[in-house]
Amino acid sequence: MRGQLCRLRRAVRQGPGLTFAAEPFSPAPGAGHPQAQTVLAYVLRRPAPLPLRRERVVTPDGDFLDVDWLEAAPERPHLLVLHGLEGSSASGYVRQTLHEAQALGWGAAAMNFRSCSGEPNRMLRSYCSGETADPLFIARHVSARISGPLLAVGFSLGGNALLKLMAETGEHAPFHAAAAVSAPFDLLACAEALDAPFGRCVLYRRHFLRTLKRKALGKLATHQGPGLHAERVRRARKLQEFDDVFTAPSNGYKDALDYYRRCSSGPLLEDVRKPTLLLNAEDDPMIPETSLPPAGAGGFLSVLRTKQGGHVGFLGGSVLRPHFWAERQAVRFLAAQLPS
C-alpha cells in the first residue's frame, strides 16, 4: 500500500480553539498521481441536486452578485462558500461542500464571483485572486439575515481571496472560522507553474485561458479602460500575459507583478486573527510545494498538508464509489471551532 496512505502534517495548534484531528487521506486505487487526482475528481464529483434558492444581490457600485442559498433556521450556523478560478456555485466541490453543510443542519450561501453565474456582470471589473470587497459585502448580507455563527470556506482562487479577507479584517473578520482548500499563497510562483512551456499544467492553462479570454473580449466590446486592448488579450498565450493585459488593469493594478505582489495571501497570514484551516496537497500541479506555509505555522492557523491529492482533488474511496475528503475535512474543522 505504499503511496496509498498519505502522511498528514498537522499544525501545532497554538491558537485559541484550534482543536481538530483530521481523518487520514487515502487516494482512490489507481488515482494516486496528481493529474489523476485533479482531473478525476473534477469528472467524478457530481453531487445530487440540492434545494437551492438563487438571489441576485445588487452591489454598492450598481453591479450584481448571484448567490445560491441552502436554507436553514437563522439560528443555525451558516457557511459562505467561494469557488475557484472560472468556477461557480455549480462547481462540484462547491455543491459537495453544501451537502456537508446540509448533513449538519447548517444553512449556506454559495457566492458567484462577478461574471461566473452564467451571465456577464455590468461593470468592467470582474474578479481576481485578491477580490475581497465582494465576499465581504456578501458576508455582511448573510450576517444580517441570521443569528447563528457565520463560517467560510474557499477553494483555490476563492481560498486566496478568503485568506486575504481574513488578514485584512483581523479580529473583526465576519467569520467565526474559515477554511481554505488548495489556496495559492504565492501568485507569481503559481503563474510560473501554470505557464511552464512543457510542464504538467499545459491543459489547465489552455482551459483557463479559453474562458477567461472569451469573457474579457466580451467586456472590451462594451467597456473601455486605460491600458486595455482587445488585440493584446487575443495574443495572450500565458496566464501571466493575460493577467498583465487584462486582470491587472481591469482591477486597478499596475501590471501582473503588482497584482501578484499585492494579492498573494502568503505574506498576510500572520495577520489572521480567527481560526483558519489551510489544506493543501504537496503534489498540487498548480501550486509549488515550496510556496506552501510550513506545517507548524501555529497562531490562528491550522496547516493540513497531504503528500497526495492534486489540486482541489483529494479523491478517495474508489472510482466507482468516490469519496471527497477535502470538503469533509474543511467542514469538520469549522464545526470543531463552534462553541459546544
Same domain, 164 and 199: no
Geometric angle at alpha carbon 25, from 21 and 31, rounded to 5°:
165
All three cell numbers of 22: 483530521
With bands split at pLDDT 50, 70 and 90, how would you rate the model's confidence at 18?
Answer: low
Same domain, 195 and 315: no
More confident residue, 9 or 162: 162
156 is catalytic: yes
- For residue 245, the 8-state DSSP code is I
Task: Kindly report the average pLDDT of the chain as a whole number.
Answer: 93
The residue from 237, 263, 289 where one domain ends is 263
How far is residue 298 from each of residues 7, 121, 180, measured CA to CA in Å? 19, 39, 15
Range of the domain at 162: 9-186+265-336
Same domain, 60 and 170: yes
The residue from 263, 288, 312 where one domain ends is 263
Q: What is the CA radius of gyration of the chain?
A: 19
The catalytic position among 283, 284, 291, 302 is 284
With bands split at pLDDT 50, 70 and 90, how would you rate the model's confidence at 198?
Answer: confident
Same domain, 71 and 100: yes
Beta strands in 89-242 (DSSP E): 107-111, 150-155, 177-181
Q: What is the pLDDT of residue 295?
A: 77
The catalytic position among 33, 78, 83, 311 is 311
Q: What is the pLDDT of residue 100?
A: 98
Q: Which pLDDT tens digit goes with each residue over 211-244?
A: 999 999 999 999 988 889 999 999 999 999 999 9
The pTM score is: 0.93
Number of domains in the chain: 2
Same domain, 192 and 175: no
Same domain, 69 and 154: yes
Q: What is the pLDDT of residue 13?
A: 35
Q: Which pLDDT tens digit goes with each residue over 178-192?
A: 999 999 999 999 999
| 8 pLDDT more than 50 | no
| 7 pLDDT more than 50 | no
Does residue 4 sit within a domain?
no
Does residue 43 sit within a domain?
yes
All three cell numbers of 284: 498540487
Same domain, 206 and 309: no
With bands split at pLDDT 50, 70 and 90, how would you rate the model's confidence at 93?
Answer: very high
The CATH number linked to 290 is 3.40.50.1820
The residue from 247, 263, 279 where one domain ends is 263
Q: Which pLDDT tens digit goes with each residue over 42-74?
A: 999 999 999 999 999 999 999 999 999 999 999
Residue with cell 485533479: 38
318 is catalytic: no
Q: What is the pLDDT of residue 206?
A: 95
176 is catalytic: no
| 1 pLDDT more than 60 | no
| 4 pLDDT more than 70 | no
Same domain, 27 and 90: yes
- For residue 21, the 8-state DSSP code is -
Q: If you count DSSP H runs as helices and E runs as strands, how many of each does the chain have, helices first?
A: 11, 11
Same domain, 199 and 330: no
Q: Which pLDDT tens digit goes with each residue over 254-266?
A: 999 999 999 999 9
With bands split at pLDDT 50, 70 and 90, how would you rate the model's confidence at 297?
Answer: low
Does residue 2 sit within a domain?
no
Q: What is the pLDDT of residue 298?
A: 72
Q: What is the percent of the chain where pLDDT is above 70?
A: 94
**Residues with Cβ within 8 Å of residue 140, at least 6 apart in sequence:** 174
Does residue 3 sit within a domain?
no
The catalytic position among 115, 117, 156, 291 is 156
Q: What is the pLDDT of residue 319?
A: 94
